[in-house]
Every structure is written in C-alpha cells, then in structure tokens.
Amino acid sequence: MNCIKNNEFTVEEFIAESLEHINKVDEKLHAFLRINDLAIKKAKEIDAKIKSNQNVGRCYGMPISVKDNICMEGSKTTCASKVLENFIAPYTSTVISKLHSEDAIIIGKTNLDEFAMGLSTEFSAYGPSRNPWNNDCVPGGSSGGSGVSVAANECIASLGSDTGGSIRNPASFCSVVGLKPTYGLVSRYGLVSYANSIEQIGPMTKTVEDSAFLLNMISGIDPNDNTTIDNKNQDYLNNIDAGINGKKIGIVTEMTNSDGLSADVLDATNDSIKTFEKLGANCEQVSLQMVPYTVAAYYTITSTEAGSNLARYDNVRYGYELDSSGFEFNSYISQARSKLGPEVIRRMILGGFVPSAGHAGKYFLKALKVKSKLINEINYVFKKFDFLISPTVPIQPFKFGEKINDPVSFMMVDFNTVTANLTGIPAISVPYKITNGLPIGIQIMSNHLEEHSLLQAAYALEKTVDLPEVPA
C-alpha cells in the first residue's frame, strides 16, 4: 500500500501483477472459483482518483478475495454447490459494500466446502483447494480457498465465514491469521446462511494488524441485519502493540488433553504457553466441562438450521434448468435437490431427524441445553480470565481422502473451535509453528466484544514468532 501511496507503482499495475500470480499458481492450488472480471477496471478508477487528488478509501486498491458464499451484485455466488451453479446475486452484501466504499478491489471469489459444510474443501462441488505448504494436504475449511489465497500471496487479505471453525481451521492449516468475531459484530447480510444462529464473517490475513485493519471496516451495526451490534466505531488498531503483561490466560484443559490431539500440536501449544508467560501473562489450566459435548451439540444445532436454511433450494424461483412438467411438487423438489453433494445431504437428513416431533427432546433440545450450559461456563470463566487458549485444531493438515470416509473423526477436528460459535465469543487463530513442513496455529478466545484486547494478545504472540515463507 505504501508503494502505491509513494507512486512507486499504480493500483492497476499492482492488480495486474496479482492476477498474473494467480494465473501462475492457482491452476495447482485452486483457491479461486472465479476471478472478478471488473478488477482491472476498478483499479483504473482508483488510480484516476489518486491522480486527481480525490479522497481515496483506506484500502487504497488492496486486492481482497471473498469466500463464494458472500453475495456481490451481478456476479455469481455458488457456495461451491451445483445447486447455485448459475445463481447471480441481485444485491451486494454489507461487508463487500463496506470494502468497496474503502476502495478495496474484490479480486475473486474463493473455494469452500459446499455451503460451508466441511473442513477440508474436499466437499466443494468444483474440486478441492490445495495446501500451499504441501500440495498433497488439505488447506482446511470450509474457507479453504480464502486461506490458500492469502497464504500463497494471491491477494492481501480474504473474507471467510466461520460457523464452527471455518475461518480458524484453514487459517491454522495455511499459516495465516483468522478471526471469528463476536456474533453480531459483523453483518451477515449477503452471507448465504448455513447455521445462522452462530456464524460470522471474518478476516483472514497475513498479519494480526491486517485483521484489525479489516475488522475496523467491516464491523458495526447494519440496518440490513437485525442481529448486529453497535460497536461505536471502535478502532481495533489503536494500541494494538499494548502487550499482555499481567493478563490472565486460561489453558482450556479439555482442549489440550483430548484423545484426538497430536503430539506435535501439543508440543507447539506447550511452547506457546511459555511464550505467553514470557510476555508477562499468567497462565493456568481451566476446565470447561461442557466441551466434550460441544461437537455433538454443534452438529445437532447446525444440521437443524441447515435443514431449514437450505430448504429454499427447491429450484422453483431460481436455480438450474430442470423442466418441471410432469412432476408433482414434492417429487420435483426431490429431483431438484439431488444436485446437492454428499455432506450437504448427510446434514439435511440429520436436520430432518434431530428436531422432529418424536426426537427433539433426545437430540435438538439437549443440544440447546449443552449450548446454554456452555454459555454459563464461559461467562463464569471470563470473570477470572482475560483470555482462553488452545491449539486451533487438534491435528495438522491431513492428506486428501484421509478422513473423508470417516465422518465422526472428521467432525472431531472441530473439537476446539465450535465453543466460540456456540457461545458467540470472538476467537482468533495465530500462526505459531511449522512442524514437519506443516503449520500449527494457536487459538485465543476472549469475552464478547473484547476483540480489541484479543487482537492485542494475538499481536503480542505473533511478534514472538519468525516463521518461514510459504514454499514457492
């Protein structure tokens, strides 16, 4: 950005360079589902603004990628599903409008697991993205394309969405920063709903500072989303280097001794605890007894909401070519929905079952009870602690196909991330270590709307590590 401000090169040159880089690496990485044809035109407009000394937005032509479940008027938003293969959004999401008004350039839309259901991009209907650290490994998900696009320098930053870890998981796997904000801090207007009671849009960036910078722009109350919170235009960059001297950190016991935790990830986590202490924080173990039940509760709640949110894809009002003549309504819907992928179908079936009249008491209502008890626990521990920490993901990036046939072990990968979604608190993943050539991220969580101090803690941790560049 400074290079542009100093007239070393133009926005157009910078964007052209980025596009060329994408052209070169993305055939292999497949971070993008689509490149924005209007990127160069937009770059020229911003250059013209700069030349004529007009006010230029804070993003100054910065190329940002956006997960393909966030709408932008006039362009496709597929959610990596065949069902929305030809869906062209008739309006622009609040987050993209805000970025546009700050003169960011949306360079393209990134890959994801179909409708954001998954954590590897293997469930994208258009093929998976690849981890730039090791092309045989998954990049994490569901915002895998976003993680890859930032890690592989295809853009400066990306917007992902996080329902159960979908920002933090690929951030950890790709060694980038990923922030899931407090529920309601960022408008969901234009985000295609999967589990609307818990999901949020958030930034994925190279640095903690960039995440704070983006959060400044995308957060705040929105008349188009009744669930948004007024944050009084808080400046998250302010005093970001304040440090964490004297802060109290709880190490979540259940997240650091779970069955699925790998030894290497545990090593890195223990190492990070030492680092936090060196930074002047007091770390101690804290137990969240509901955590072992969170994954089951999470899948029960998200399947219920997904079953409802995805019911609209009946191919009646929009969708793909399918002649309706000769069909009775229900059989037409079955036919129309046969285009959904296996993971989506799995959750639709689950979502039809767990909240149904005869079974809600055993499943859905129990899940809500877990959620409410977990919220009580979280409220209680944040009376004592400033932050909670854990490894973002219990394991490192795995190989393609390694877990896809074992849904339950797949689900357990979400073990450490779903707590923040179920309780609405913010959580960030900070790249911490590269072990055996693959990244490990550390998760920091804070109380509701404490993003400011959360980013200060993440910044302090980030400054202690010196990680290698992603292999070319």
> What is the contact surface with other proteins in residues (CB under 8 A)?
69-71, 77, 79, 84, 87, 89-91, 93, 188-193, 196-197, 223-227, 304-305, 307-308, 311-312, 314, 316-318, 329-330, 333, 351-352, 355-357, 364
Q: In angstroms, what is the minimal distance from the CB of 71 to other proteins?
A: 4
Question: What minimum distance in Å lies between the beta carbon of 162 and other proteins?
Answer: 16
Handedness of CA 179, 112, 226, 414 (dihedral sign): negative
Contact (CB, 8 A) for 468 and 408: no
User: Which residue number, 224 or 285, has a Cβ lying nearer to other proteins?
Assistant: 224
Nearer to other proteins by C-beta: 185 or 240? Answer: 185
Q: How far is the CB of 214 from other proteins (least distance, A)?
A: 20
Largest CA distance in the chain: 71
CB of 190 to other proteins, least distance (A): 4
Tell me, yes or no, if 247 is annotated catalytic.
no
93, 142, 187, 258: the catalytic one is: 142
- Helix 39-51 vs helix 11-29: angle between axes, to the nearest 10 degrees? 160
Which conformational region is residue 151 in: left (phi greater than 0), alpha (psi within -120 to 50 degrees), or beta?
A: alpha
Taking the least distance from each CB to other proteins, the nearer of 360 and 412 is 360
Q: Work out how close the CB of 114 gets to other proteins at its nearest, in angstroms, rounded to a whole number.
A: 13
Structure tokens of 117?
């259901």
- Given 75, 161, 166, 272, the catalytic residue: 166
Closer to other proteins by CB, 87 or 459: give it.
87
**Residues in a beta bridge with 252:** 286
CA 173 – CA 117 distance, rounded (Å): 17
Residue 308 contacts residue 351 (beta carbons within 8 Å): yes
Q: Which is nearer to other proteins, 51 or 312 (CB)?
A: 312
Query: Does 67 participate in catalysis according to the annotation?
Result: yes
Least CB distance to other proteins at residue 166 (A): 16
Q: Which is nearer to other proteins, 324 or 464 (CB)?
A: 324
Q: Which two tokens stand for residue 264?
A: 């290497």
Q: Which of 42, 67, 109, 339 is catalytic?
A: 67
Is 274 a catalytic site residue? no
Cβ closest to other proteins, residue 357 vs residue 472: 357
Active site residues per annotation: 67, 142, 166
